[in-house]
């Protein structure tokens, strides 16, 4: 499976119009509700809809990830990365390795 990755350049995420537009709706939805668990938080975020119909999708990743894993230069060289035509430094696809 190919995976497309898109990053905001450093310092631009805080200016992301969609993120800022939805954050106020998320905080309004949280008012008065105790954030007692991760599931409750994800549920409150996922229940947000604006008057114009914008919806947020949220999900909890229950996976446990080991900290401090190191990727060798050899491992990194074996990953097939295809840069996007638009802002290839920030947008790219990770392609499957064919054996």
- Averaged pLDDT in 10-residue chunks for the chain of 99 residues: 81 63 78 85 86 84 89 92 88 86
> Where in 1-98 does DSSP place strands (E)?
3-6, 80-83, 91-95
Q: 62 near 51, Cβ under 8 Å?
A: no
- State residue 18's pLDDT score: 65
CA-nearest of 28, 35, 65, 66 to 50 is 28
- State residue 19's pLDDT score: 67
- State residue 95's pLDDT score: 94
Q: Encode burial over 57-67: b for 16+ CB neighbours within 10 A, e otherwise.
A: eeeeeeeeeee
- State residue 53's pLDDT score: 85
- State residue 93's pLDDT score: 94
Looking at the whole model, is its pTM more than 0.85? no
Which structure tokens are listed for 77?
């060289």
- State residue 21's pLDDT score: 72
């Amino acid at each position: 499976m190919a995976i497309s990755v898109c990053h905001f350049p450093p310092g631009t995420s805080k200016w992301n119009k969609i993120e800022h537009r939805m954050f106020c709706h998320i905080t309004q939805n949280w008012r008065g509700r105790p954030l007692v668990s991760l599931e409750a938080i994800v549920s409150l975020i996922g229940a947000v809809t604006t008057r114009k119909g914008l919806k947020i999708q949220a999900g909890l990743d229950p996976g446990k990830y080991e900290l401090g894993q190191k990727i060798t230069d050899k491992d990194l060289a074996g990953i097939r990365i295809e840069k996007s035509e638009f802002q290839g430094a920030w947008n790219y696809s990770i392609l499957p390795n064919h054996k």
